[in-house]
Structure 1
Amino acid sequence: MQFSIYGFTLITGLPANVLAFYTFLQKIRQRSTPIDVLLLSLTISDLIFLFFLPFRMVEAANMKWTLPYFLCPLSGFIFYSTIYNSTFHLTAISVERYLGVAFPIKYKLKCNPRNAVIASIIFWVISMVHCSIVYIMQYHDHSNPNFTDPSKRNTCYEEFSTEQLKILLPVRLELFAVLFVTPFLICCFCYIKFIHILSNLPNINAKKRYRAIGMALGTLLVFIICFMPYNISHVVGYVGNYSPDWRVYALLTSTFNACLDPFIFYFSSSALRGTFKNVFQELSRRLHMPCCRSPLYCPLLNCSSTEEKTQSTTDSSL
Structure 2
Amino acid sequence: MPNLDSSLILAAYIIILLTGLPANLLALRAFLGRVRQPHPAPVHILLLNLTLADLLLLLLLPFKIIEATSDFRWELSDLACALMGFGFYSSIYCSTWLLAGISIERYLGVAFPVQYKLSRRPVYGVIAALIAWVMSFGHGTVVIIVQYLNSTQRVPKENETSCYENFSQEQLRILLPIRLELCLLLFFFPMVVTTFCYWRFVWIMLTQPHMGAQKRRRAMGLAIVSLLNFLLCFGPYNISHLVGFHMKASPKWRREAVVFGSLNASLDPLLFYFSSSVVRRSFGKGLQALHHRGSSLLGRRCKETAEATNEDPGVSQAEGAPSSDFTMD
Same fold (TM over 0.5): yes
Match for residue 160 of structure 1?
Answer: 167
The answer as to 2:42 corresponding to 1:34 is yes
The Cα offsets for residues 236-290 of structure 1, whole Å up to 9 and x where unpaired, read as 1111111112111111111110111111100000001011111211221222234
**Counterparts of 2:270 and 2:69 in 1: how far apart (Å)?**
29
Q: Which residue of 2 aligns with 1:127?
A: 136
Aligned to 1:182: 189
2:88 corresponds in structure 1 to 79
- Compute the displacement of 1:69 (Å): 2.3
State yes or no: 1:193 paired with 2:187: no
Contact between 2:78 and 2:149, CA under 8 Å: does it hold in 1?
Answer: no
Count of residues paired in the alignment: 301
Deviation sequence 1:188-207 (CA, Å, 0-9, x none): 00000111101101011111
3-state secondary structure, aligned to 1:81? helix
User: Match for 2:148 among 138, 144, 152?
Assistant: 138
CA distance in 2, matches of 1:186, 1:121: 18
- Distance in 1 of aligned mates of 2:313 and 2:169: 78
Any unmatched runs of 5+ in structure 2? 1-7, 315-329
Provide the residue aligned with 1:55 in structure 2.
63
Segments of structure 1 that go 5 or more residues without pairing to the other structure are 311-318
Deviation at 1:104, TM superposition (A): 0.3
The alignment partner of 2:252 has SS state of coil
TM-score normalised by structure 1 residue count: 0.89
Does the aligned pair in 2 maintain the 1:295–1:304 contact within 8 Å? no
- Alignment counterpart, residue 51 of structure 2, candidates 29, 38, 43: 43
Q: Distance in 1 between matches of 2:256 and 2:313?
A: 56
Residue deviations 1:17-72, cap 9 Å, x none? 11111110011111311001001111111111111111111111011001222110
Alpha-carbon offset, residue 140 of structure 1: 4.7
Aligned counterparts of 2:187 and 2:163: Cα–Cα separation in 1: 24
Structure 2 residue aligned with 1:103? 112
Q: Is the 8 Å Cα contact of residues 60 and 87 (structure 2) preserved in structure 1?
A: yes
| Contact preservation (8 Å) 2:79, 2:149 | no
Q: Write out aligned runs for 1:248-259 (5 A).
A: 248-259=255-266
Alpha-carbon distance between aligned partners in 1 of 2:13 and 2:80, rounded to the nearest angstrom: 17
CA distance in 1, matches of 2:301, 2:137: 55
CA contact (8 A) 1:88 1:123 kept: yes
Per-residue displacement from partner, 1:126-164 (whole Å, max 9, x unpaired)? 10111224422133599xxxx879xx8511000011111
CA distance in 1: counterparts of 2:143 and 2:70, whole angstroms: 22
**1:221 CA drift (Å):** 1.0
SS in 1 for 2:75: coil
Structure 2 match to 1:284: 291
Give me the identity figure in percent: 45
8 Å contact from structure 1 (residues 95, 190) kept in 2 = yes
Q: CA deviation at 1:3?
A: 1.2
Q: TM-score, normalised by structure 2?
A: 0.86
Larger radius of gyration: 1
Task: Indicate conservation of the 8 Å contact 2:151/2:167, yes or no.
Answer: no
Corresponding position of 2:311 = 307
Shift of 1:185: 0.5
CA RMSD of the aligned region, Å?
A: 2.2
Task: Tell me which residue corresponds to 2:268.
Answer: 261
Is the contact made by 2:202 and 2:220 (CA closer than 8 Å) also made in structure 1?
yes
Is the CA contact 2:222–2:271 (under 8 Å) kept in the aligned structure 1? Answer: yes
Checking the alignment, whether the CA contact within 8 Å between 2:151 and 2:163 is kept in structure 1 is: no
Q: Shift of the alpha carbon at 1:297? A: 6.7
Structure 1 pair 148/292, CA: closer, same or farther in 2 (3 Å)?
Answer: closer
Residue 22 of structure 1 pairs with residue 26 of structure 2:
no
Contact 1:37 1:113 in 2 (8 A): yes
